[in-house]
Amino acid sequence: MASSLPPAQLAPPHPAHPAGAVRREGFELPAHTSSVSQARAHVGGQLRRWGFPEDLGHTAQLVISEFVTNAVLHTDSGRIGCSLHLDGERLRIEVSDEGAEHCAPQPRSATPDEVNGRGLQLVGALAERWGVTVGGARCGRVVWAELGTC
């Protein structure tokens, strides 16, 4: 017997994973502007495969988009690392770069006429927490954000 509900309504509203399950996904991209859309697509696809609702996918895509854009525009990286880490009810998004500058990105106040400069403020509004780890094995930095999955 066929269901009369559209496929989107048949999907579970929350991730189908055992409590406490840990999932990880990582990928690298060249530090080019075209990588921003690739990162967005990869994150959206992975979260769909893990069974997350579309609204969480959109938020995660916005966050990764901002982080990858900043790594491309504001570092001298050749490659950018991206990772997703699901642990319980929290999704952690990380973007690492190879930038030689060891300073943490800071939100800034853009004037009404400026096109850019609001991305990290937006991340701060959407994420439960976010931050930057400078240095480490790859040099550069890791910018991360944590999103609630419920």
DSSP calls for 5-66: S-HHHHS-SS----TT-EEEEEEEEESSTHHHHHHHHHHHHHHHHTT--HHHHHHHHHHHHH
**4 three-class SS:** coil
pLDDT in tens, 70-99: 899 888 889 999 999 998 789 999 999 987
pLDDT at 2 over 80: no
Q: Given this model, what pLDDT does residue 115 score?
A: 45
Task: Note the pTM of the prediction, 2 decimals.
Answer: 0.76
C-alpha dist (Å) from residue 120 to 68, 82, 104, 111: 12, 17, 12, 15
pLDDT in tens, 93-143: 999 998 765 555 555 554 555 445 557 788 888 999 999 888 655 567 899
End-to-end CA distance of the chain: 32
Structure tokens at 79: 């490659």
Q: Measure CA 115 to chain center.
A: 21
Burial class (CB in 10 A: 0-12, 13-18, 19+), 101: middle
Q: Given this model, what pLDDT does residue 1 score?
A: 43
State the amino acid at position 30 in one-letter form.
P
pLDDT in tens, 32-51: 999 999 999 999 999 999 99
Q: Per CATH, the architecture of 22-148 is what?
A: 2-Layer Sandwich (3.30)
Identify the helix (H) or strand (E) that includes residue 86.
strand 79-87
> For tokens 């995660």, what's the residue?
60
Please, what is the average pLDDT of the chain?
79
Confidence of residue 11 (pLDDT cuts 50, 70, 90): very low
